[in-house]
Every structure is written in C-alpha cells, then in structure tokens.
Structure 1
C-alpha cells in the first residue's frame, strides 16, 4: 500500500485483544448452545453487552475521523455473533434479551445503510484508491459497495419482520400460549438444527478470515499491542468464557449426551 494510504487502526474497536476475545466468545456461545442449551441465555446476554459497547464505539469513531476500512472490519465483527444460531432458533423470541437483540441488529442495519450510501465518501482517506473491503482485493468503492447497500436494506427488512414476530411472541408469552420458551424445553432432550449449525460454523470461519484478511491486506497499524482496558476486557471475558465452557463440556461429558437432530425442520 502506498504511503498516502497509510491506515492507523482503532485498537479499542478491532485490536488484537478485541478480536481474540470476540472469537473466543463466539466459540463459547456455539459450544454452550450445542451441548448445554439450558445455560445459553447468559452467554447471549454477554454477547449483546459486548456488541453494544463495540457498536457505540463504532458510531463515535465514525464521527471522529474513523476510516472506512475500519468500519467495515467492525461491522463484520458485529455480524459474527450471529454464529450462535443453533438449537430451535426461536426460544428467546418475545423475551427481553430476544427483543433487545433484534433492536440491536436493526440499529446495525440502519448504520450500514448510512455507511454504504453516504458514510463511505465521508470516511475514505483522500487521494487513496487502494482501500480493500473484501477478499480478492475488492475496492471499498466498487461493486462490493453495491453489495453492502443491498445487504443493509435487506437487513433492515428482516429486522423489522423479526420485531413484529417478537411483539407477537411477547403477547403470547403474557397469555401463557408461547410454546417455545426455555421453560417449555427444560425437561426435553436438546435439539440441534444441523442447517443452522453449519451456517454458524461457516459464519465464524468467514468472519475470522475476512477480518484478519482486511487487517493484513490494508496494512493497518496500531493493532498488535494489548495496552488498553478497551482491549483487555473483551480478551479476558472471551478467553475465560471459552475455556470455562470447554472444561465444563468435557468434565460433564456433554458431548455424549443424546440430542435430537433436525435438518431443515425434519427430525433425523
């Protein structure tokens, strides 16, 4: 990358400590959802807290001279937490955490619309045409930008639909007619939807690969040292969560627990 395109990153948004912490938290949530779904609620809340903190930092960074590439990296990190989609997929609908998650992704999609339609032009480095936004050295201002616009609009449409579904589920919960809550499956055998499991694993692999590729190909500096609270806390929370979940899974032999497997809603 040329000297005029030197990118100085924001370590509190996507520094090495934040990235490792988020990767570890994704894996921990995937493990707990797959092997011990009764306890997944706490992990989803932790994910949501970390997401909200990073998203708030992204909004502040976008108005204080942040780079367009840095915003793309952060958005990919925020989307990576969708990797917790296993199990029945709807048990948290209508709950406080479920509604708040949908509101968060609505806000993220709204930010994405602003970013891809107007924000890119404001955040790009002047006289630099080498900012890479995707695999294959795709330019941030090329066809990938059109994809970003479409994805953001679709994201808002899906989020609005999920808001309506959550409101409906909340009404059913109040009436006691919602059949998919955590209490309804307390004594049931754990369920795993294989299509969502494969999607989750693929999303984790894609998110990690895309983020690390963009950091490397754009030669972003100031990201390799864990020298701030903003990096240390996600690193600490994520790594402790992952190793604790892994040890619990192995110690209690949850891997061998019988569970119901589904493929596109059909019991195997």
Structure 2
C-alpha cells in the first residue's frame, strides 16, 4: 500500500549510514566483486575486512534500536547489509570451510534475527514512539513510497524468517566443511587452496551486479524520500574509516587490473553450472 501523506523529515545517524559510510560500502561491494573475478586468492582477506565493517554498522543500529529510533533507519541499514551479498561469482558461495565463510554465516544469522525482531515487534514500538510525538506522517520503507507498515512489512517478515533458516543451515554446512578440512590437512586448515584458473558463474555475476545496483538505488531513495538530513559530514571519524577502506580497496584492485593486465587473464566461464 502506498502512502497518502508526506513522510516526516528527521536527522539521520551520521556514523551508521552517513554519506562517507555509504560511499565506502558501495566501493567495497564493487571492489569485492572485481576481486572475485580477477584476484580470487585475495578474496578471503577482503571478505573478513568487509564483514568487520558491516558488523560495526550492524551493532550500531542494534544498540540504537534500544533507544529512540526512527522506523526507517533499520530498513536503510538492512538494505546496506544485503548489498554485501553481491560478490557471488566463482567459488564465492562455496567457501564454507574458510574464515570468511564462517563469519558471513554467523553475521547473516544475527542480521536475520534482528530483522525478525524489527518486523514482528520493534517496528510497532518505533511507530508508537513517532506517533506519541504527535507526528502523523508516513515512514517510507520501499520504492513507490510504500509504507513500512504496509505490504512491505509482510514481505520483510517472510524474508527475515527465510534468511534465518538459510543462515542456520549455512552454519551447519560451515561446521561440516571446517571439520572435513581439518581432517584432510590440518596445517592448511585456514588457507585457501590454490586454483589454476579463476572460475566465474555468469548467472551469479549478473545477479551480483543487479543486487549492487538495486541496493544503491533503494538506500538512496529511502534517504531522499524520507527527508533524512545531517548525513553529509564525511570528515567525521565514524565515516572516514569505511570511506577510506572502500576507496583503497577499489583503487587497489583497479590498479592491479590495469598494471598486471588481469582483464586478459584466462578464466573458466560457467553458465548455470555448465562449462562454456
């Protein structure tokens, strides 16, 4: 259901989803996608770094949710966290035995659990707080000025429950994969095995690019349509760290692609699991 009134403007949290934080995350998504394509041997290290940044942002919104929080803010952060799923090319979906795979499974389990709390209970408390302040305007949660308490809430509930089920299953797969890896070669348990050629699944590559574009569009739309202000101080300490990390990651992989000619490196292309 679309809104019939105007959304309320409010001051956003600079340190959680400010301009510098968002630019840094967008650069991380693109850099990680390029790394899975051109330098997959660096993928695990970059994923661990990215998940550390994501965890700090997630903890920020989780702590803030215990206080007075605008109902739109958790939705913005959820879309920011989902954007990091974009690097799904090559073997990126099957690294369950690596540190990055374990951390990602744990992170998305916690994120899904937070989503369940927000959609089933937390949203009502946040809306009640907003309305108790005398505000009658809408909180927009999706494209088309869809309210957070309309049809999009039902979809959010379903996606959060499904996400939790999938994440718990992934944790189980990680435990099995790590155990098998330690059994096979204990000394190499936490090191990615070398591959002769990078593997790229075209379908997942297209999905990854689409997910990046979708996440950026939705996040920027929500900030604009809800009139969120006070997010432009990139020189704030909380924004500088993710901003600089994202810029450095993207610059580093871009430099390697150009200087080392990685664009012309041979790789194995797959389409729906079939080698081309």
Q: TM-score, normalised by structure 1?
A: 0.94
Distance 1:28 1:164 in 2: 29
Distance 1:212 1:72 in 2: 12
Aligned to 2:207: 199
Paired residues in the alignment total 266
TM-superposed deviation, 1:89: 2.9
Aligned to 1:93: 96
Instruction: Report SS of the residue matched to 1:141.
Output: coil
Q: TM-score, normalised by structure 2?
A: 0.91
Aligned to 2:57: 54
TM-superposed deviation, 1:233: 1.0
TM-superposed deviation, 1:18: 0.4
Instruction: Report SS of the residue matched to 1:75.
Output: helix
Instruction: Report SS of the residue matched to 2:228.
Output: coil
TM-superposed deviation, 1:240: 1.3
Instruction: Report SS of the residue matched to 2:209.
Output: helix
Aligned to 2:233: 225
Instruction: Report SS of the residue matched to 2:113.
Output: helix
Closer, same or farther: CA 259–218 of 1 in aligned 2, 3 Å: same
Task: Please say if 1:102 is aligned against 2:110.
Answer: no
Instruction: Report SS of the residue matched to 1:66.
Output: coil
Could you say what the CA RMSD is over the residues aligned between the two structures, in angstroms?
2.0
Task: Please say if 1:82 is aligned against 2:82.
Answer: no
Contact 1:9–1:220 (Cα < 8 Å) also in 2: yes
Distance 1:233 1:177 in 2: 37
Contact 1:91–1:182 (Cα < 8 Å) also in 2: no
Contact 1:29–1:84 (Cα < 8 Å) also in 2: yes
Aligned to 2:263: 255
Task: Please say if 1:139 is aligned against 2:142.
Answer: no
How does 1:100-249 map onto structure 2 within 5 Å? 100-124=103-127, 125-126=130-131, 127-176=135-184, 183-184=192-193, 186-249=194-257
Structure 1 runs (4+) deviating above 3 angstroms are 1-4, 181-184
Distance 1:266 1:182 in 2: 27
Closer, same or farther: CA 150–4 of 1 in aligned 2, 3 Å: closer
Unaligned runs of 5+ in 1: none
Distance 2:5 2:69 in 1: 19
Instruction: Report SS of the residue matched to 1:136.
Output: coil
Task: Please say if 1:7 is aligned against 2:10.
Answer: yes
- Farther off after superposition, 153-162 or 221-230: 221-230
Distance 2:200 2:7 in 1: 50
Unaligned runs of 5+ in 2: none
TM-superposed deviation, 1:190: 0.7
TM-superposed deviation, 1:251: 0.7
Aligned to 1:30: 33
Contact 2:98–2:192 (Cα < 8 Å) also in 1: no
